[in-house]
């Protein structure tokens, strides 16, 4: 499923309520000025296409400020990933490389096993 850009806590709350109780929702919190973001964004979008029953969202940390997202989930480094199952936080992690991002999501069974595994 293609990624969608969120702008607020309200967007996140609505998206989590829409995802139902069965699927995963992955939120990628990024710093738009970081070179890491330009490397991770294509990988995140590619993984999202492999997962038709999961929802993938992005939000810049600037849009999170004042919204309570950073405080609620104790996020203070970027890039950062939050994984929800239904409306409940399932996992959270940092990732600076596409390979690590893929491994983390596969380990959590959010993404299918790679062809080489």
Classified by CATH at the fold level, domain 4-107 comes out as: Glutaredoxin (3.40.30)
- Hunting for tokens 């993404």 — which residue is that? 111
Each domain of the chain, given as residue ranges in start order, spans 4-107
Phi-psi region of 20 (alpha: psi -120 to 50; beta: other; left: phi over 0): left
CB-CB contact of 61 with 31 (8 Å): yes
Give tens-digit pLDDT for 49-103.
Answer: 998 889 999 999 999 877 789 999 999 999 999 999 988 999 999 999 999 999 9
Give tens-digit pLDDT for 4-59.
Answer: 999 998 999 998 888 776 689 999 999 999 999 989 999 999 999 998 889 999 99
pTM for the structure as a whole? 0.91
What are the tokens at 107? 């380990």
Q: How many CB atoms lie within 10 A of CB 14?
A: 12
């Amino acid at each position: 499923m293609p990624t969608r850009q969120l702008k607020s806590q309200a967007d996140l709350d609505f998206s989590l309520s829409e995802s139902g109780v069965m699927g995963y929702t992955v939120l990628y919190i990024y710093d738009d000025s970081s070179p890491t973001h330009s490397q991770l964004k294509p990988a995140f979008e590619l993984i999202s296409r492999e997962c038709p029953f999961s929802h993938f969202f992005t939000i810049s940390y600037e849009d999170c400020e004042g919204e309570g997202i950073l405080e609620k989930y104790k996020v203070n480094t970027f890039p950062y990933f939050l994984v929800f199952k239904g409306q409940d936080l399932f996992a959270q992690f940092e990732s600076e490389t596409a390979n690590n991002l893929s491994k983390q999501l596969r380990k959590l069974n959010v993404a299918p096993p790679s062809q080489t595994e």
